[in-house]
Amino acid sequence: MEILLVDDDRHSREAVAWFLREQEHMVTECDNATEALAMWKQADYPFVLSDIQMPGMSGIELAKAITEQPDSWRTDVVLFTGFGDMKTAVAALRAGAYDYLLKPVDAQELAAIALRVSEHQALLRENKELTEHFDDKLQSATQNTELELNRMRKMMAETVIGNVGIFSTGMQQVAELAQRFHTDRTLTVLIQGETGTGKEVVARIIHYGSNLKTVAGPLVELNCAAIPHNLFETELFGYEGGAFSGSLSKGQKGKLDAAAGGTLFLDEIAEMPQEMQAKLLRLLEAREYYRVGGLKKIKADVRIVCATNVDLEKRMEEGLFRRDLYYRLKVGHIVIPPLRKRREEIVPLAELFLREFAQTKKKQFAGIGSEAQQLLKQYDWPGNVRELRNAMEWVAFMYDDAELQAEHLAKVVSPAATLSVAADKPASTKEKQVVLPMPAGGLSIKEYNDLIIQAVLDAHNGNQTATAKYLDMSLRALCYRLEQMRNRQ
């Protein structure tokens, strides 16, 4: 913050200026009020800190002169003196001073006042901006909202909304059930399915609905496996200023605040810390919550949708997931069958993905040969739709032909391209191996590493904790790598 410091006592002024600069403020020093007033008229100083007793113009006269200016709202004046009494304090406040300090200035008190001035000025300027440019801001916000909604409508229309991407009775039933849940925001929905089955897409249908014509509010996603346990509560509920050491002075809103009026999607809910499970249960039952360090109850106007790829009933038996939370989440329940149990979808989905990647990569692929279709249907696809999509991207990257042939898939769906695990022995690094294709055209180490990570993740049914442990890397590092892989797709 820009601060104009006015004091004829050089030693006192320099000491105060040093302290304020240590607090990362920018300080301009001045030894008399007349010069300070001239400087104030030439620049923007949200905070003027002035001594009262000075030769010529006093600090009280300076405060009054600033207050009389038409743009005085942009400055808070704080006065200080070594000769304090009630009469002086009243005179300072009547002159328009924001606050009043006594010399010698207490460091903590000065830091607190600087913080209050900073927050007060930020609020004043924001209100001024909104007041003067309300119509422009409203129009801009409306345009941005419409653009985002149109983008989401287009994205969803290109994935599984309507009949596009749904090629089986089972998935049609899933989509219809998701649409039914969309009509009631009070229902909590639990989506269960193996990794890669499309739980995120189903969550979007629940939020937006199938026709995407109604305003659904924000959709906020939180991956429970990607948040460190000690930060989970603040990430979900937010916190008030000064709630803990290192917190922002203004506090911070959480994902519940961001999702107000819309949907909060809690992915990988099985990885939620146990102490947070009780707090989530209270939120679902009371529909109210406190920010960390807060005293005010906040109404939770939000739909909760959760997803998991693990057996929650088994987790309950192991004491890792609360039984009462499980039944509370399961009010609305959707189970997505794996791709191997809806094999009639494999070829249509493969054709859909192949055409998509052929277009983006400028390839000729327009269909799939009969032998290739047979190979696709025989493979179990442990990574489900995601693995099938990745396979079609790989083929479109490596080859260029009018029709997808069996030889194009030999290294993609063959047993040698899958992860082999000795099921009858305790899992260890030595007992698992990944055998991946080595194309003649070459393969970057980054692409090869991505294939290894995806294969290990598929083998562990999408369990990121187990995958990270198997790969001997931290969960946070794995989540970062997976996010990079998604961005490259």
Mean pLDDT of 296-304: 91
The pLDDT of residue 326 is: 94
Confidence at 24, pLDDT banded by 50, 70, 90: confident
The pLDDT of residue 418 is: 37
- Domain boundaries of the chain, sorted by first residue: 2-132, 139-337, 356-488
The topology (CATH level 3) of 356-488 is Helicase, Ruva Protein; domain 3 (1.10.8)
The pLDDT of residue 293 is: 85
Quick: pLDDT tens for 37-86. Answer: 999 998 889 899 988 888 999 888 998 999 888 888 889 999 887 766 66
Mean pLDDT of 208-235: 81
Which of the two residues, 330 and 166, has the higher pLDDT score? 330
220-229, 345-354, 436-445: least confident range: 436-445
The pLDDT of residue 85 is: 64
Mean pLDDT of 175-193: 92
158 pLDDT more than 50: no
Decide which of 1.40.20.10, 3.40.50.620, 3.20.20.70, 3.40.50.2300 is the CATH code for 2-132: 3.40.50.2300
The pLDDT of residue 327 is: 93
Which of the two residues, 235 and 433, has the higher pLDDT score? 235
Domains 139-337 and 356-488 share a fold: no
488 pLDDT more than 80: no
Confidence at 486, pLDDT banded by 50, 70, 90: confident
The pLDDT of residue 441 is: 60
The pLDDT of residue 159 is: 45
88 pLDDT more than 90: no
Three-class secondary structure assignment of the chain: CEEEEECCCHHHHHHHHHHHHHCCCEEEEECCHHHHHHHHHHCCCCEEEEECCCCCCCHHHHHHHHHCCCCHHHCEEEEEECCCCHHHHHHHHHCCCCEEEECCCCHHHHHHHHHHHHHHHHHHHHHHHHHHCHHHHHHHHHHHHHHHHHHHHHHHHCCCCCCCCCCCHHHHHHHHHHHHHHCCCCCCEEEECCCCCCHHHHHHHHHHCCCCCCCCCCEEEEECCCCCHHHHHHHHHEECCCCCCCCCCCCEECHHHHCCCCEEEEECHHHCCHHHHHHHHHHHHHCEECCECCCCCEECCCEEEEEECCCHHHHHHCCCCCHHHHHHHCCEEEECCCHHHCHHHHHHHHHHHHHHHHHHCCCCCCEECHHHHHHHHHCCCCCHHHHHHHHHHHHHHHCCCCEECHHHHHHHHCHHHCEEECCCCCCCHHHEEECCCCCCCCCCHHHHHHHHHHHHHHHCCCCHHHHHHHCCCCHHHHHHHHHHHHHHC
Quick: pLDDT tens for 367-424. Answer: 999 989 988 988 889 889 988 998 999 999 989 989 999 888 877 775 433 333 333 3
Decide which of 3.30.43.10, 3.40.50.300, 3.40.228.10, 3.20.20.70 is the CATH code for 139-337: 3.40.50.300
Quick: pLDDT tens for 322-374. Answer: 999 999 999 999 999 999 998 999 999 999 999 989 999 999 999 999 989 98
Confidence at 138, pLDDT banded by 50, 70, 90: low
139 pLDDT more than 90: no
The pLDDT of residue 479 is: 83
